[in-house]
A and B are shown apart, each in its own frame.
Chain A
Amino acid sequence: MAHIHLGEGTFPVWALVLWTTVGVILVAAVVYRVRKGGIKTHQIALAGIGAAASFAVFQLNIPVWGGIHMNLTGLVGILAGPLLGSLIALVVNIFSAALGHGAVGLIGANTLVNASEAIVAYYAFKTLMGMDWDVFPASASAATLGLSAGAFLMGAIIVVSGVNGSALPRGDLTIAVAGLVGLNLGVAVIEGLLTGFIVQFLASVRPDLVGLADRDTQEEPTGVTA
């Protein structure tokens, strides 16, 4: 999960207003689509608990490069779809900001980044599955593509906004941000592979979750416990 890896106050006021406005427009469009389609109880429940799981997964330390944390946004997009995936991204960002991860003023920008990850991952997965790809390569590629799109969007937002108090020309700032985007692309590959294994596992126990079986024919829950 890429983030605007800058703390509070790093963007000038106009950029804060701009990205918050764009974020609000995106969320308003999603809410409109969701309301227009008549949101079902199971969608609310899935989005709420899916966001809780995404938030909980972040607590696990993955021992790569000294320790990385993931929200599995690509997986959330694949499982919940682009609309609910975007709302989950918003809710996770609100809770993250309340715990000092991310930034309150950058919730709009971070939601744009994470929603793009979920949306791209969902459509890439659907496309690849439609091309008869196997579950693992399709989900791993889709998640990597989604996370890479988020990483590039994150870099673009930082370069467009500039850094508060910095006299650095945009060209040099692009060089500085390129390193961060590169690091995020590395994490995207790791998270993409992990997502591939997770979707492969989910497809083996609940194929209906990834569209490999009819959801209505699914029997009682498998009762997963430790």
Chain B
Amino acid sequence: MTTLSNHVPDPRLITAFAERRDGPLHRVNPWTKVGVVGALVLAVTVFDRLALLAGLYGAVLVVYGLAGLPYRRLAGWYTLPMLFIVSVAGPLAFLEPGTPIGGALSTPLGELSVTWAGLVLFGELSCRSLTVVTFALTASMTTKYTDVAYMLGRLLPRPIDQIALLTYRFTFVMIETLEDLVKAALSRGANFSEFWSNKRLYARILGMTMLSAIEQSERLVKSMEARGYNGDITLYGDVPRPPARELIVIAACYAGVVAYALVGVYEVVPV
């Protein structure tokens, strides 16, 4: 039976963790989390040693745990990122030049083997990807809905901010609409286990979801215009600037990454 996937993070669950829990990271300023995400993206891009990348990934995993978030869910949510890594890093592990691990398998196209360099590359790509995935989820699960909405309004130019705010608001509605449609079809005896024999049923459900979205947008237009919408969805609330100690942490993160890049990777500054 196919219903909504449990290996794709459900925005409702993510928001519930942000709204109902109160871990140490819930009290960290949301702008600080955005800053750390940027530093992590830079770090996993410039770090060039597996041990360093594994250490960074381990540290982020510890932060995830300290925030009081569930590891079991995280393992399920790794399914798609790992699939992406395997889809490219898998072939690279075989094609990467280097010393073969064990014996080589003879094929009509030549010898096939995983090399040590390929295995290390696979490990590096996994650590790089999972580090940011884990912290992005940590930040999402510890930042309240109003704070996310406020930051979307501040970070994105108009009209993208308006679109993003409506998307954020209506994602929950559309997921429930889709879920209701799936449940209704199941209660009428539908079978989702095979795609090709049920392709029209899938199309009807997805089509109804899109149609429902379009009709909701038409109703929304009327209510927006009735309230005098002039291109601005007013945001209530405020996310203040991070306190000094958090600014120092962000600055230290960036300084550390840049220093490592200059000294250890690009060797601009000789040691």
Residues of A participating in the B interface, judged by any CB pair closer than 8 Å: 3, 5-13, 16, 27, 31, 34-35, 39, 41-42, 44-53, 55-64, 67, 69, 72, 75, 79, 87-88, 90-92, 94-95, 97-101, 103-105, 158, 163-168, 172-173, 175-177, 179-180, 183, 190, 193-194, 197-202, 205-206, 209, 221-226
Contact = CB atoms under 8 A, between A and B. Distances in A.
Nearest to A163: B92
- For the residues of B in contact with A, the DSSP-based class is helix
19 contacts: A5-B84, A7-B129, A9-B125, A9-B129, A10-B129, A41-B225, A49-B166, A53-B174, A55-B167, A56-B174, A56-B178, A57-B178, A62-B195, A75-B210, A168-B97, A176-B91, A176-B92, A198-B203, A226-B177
Shortest beta-carbon contacts, A-B, top 5:
A7-B129, A48-B166, A197-B203, A9-B44, A9-B128
B46 A13 contact: yes
A20 to B, nearest CB: 10
A42 B45 CA distance: 40
Contact of A95 (B92, B171, B184, B231): B171
Given A51-B167, A61-B4, A103-B132, A10 B125 contact: yes
Nearest to B171: A52
Given A8-B133, A179-B91, A67 B5 contact: yes
Contacts of A69: 5, 8, 80
Interface string B16-30: 000000000000000
A5 B88 contact: yes
Interface stretch (B100-108, B212-220, B234-242, B243-251): B212-220
B125 A6 contact: yes
Contacts of B207: 197-199, 201-202
Given A7-B84, A52-B170, A105-B45, A176 B95 contact: yes
B41 interface: yes
Contacts, number: 305
A17 to B, nearest CB: 10
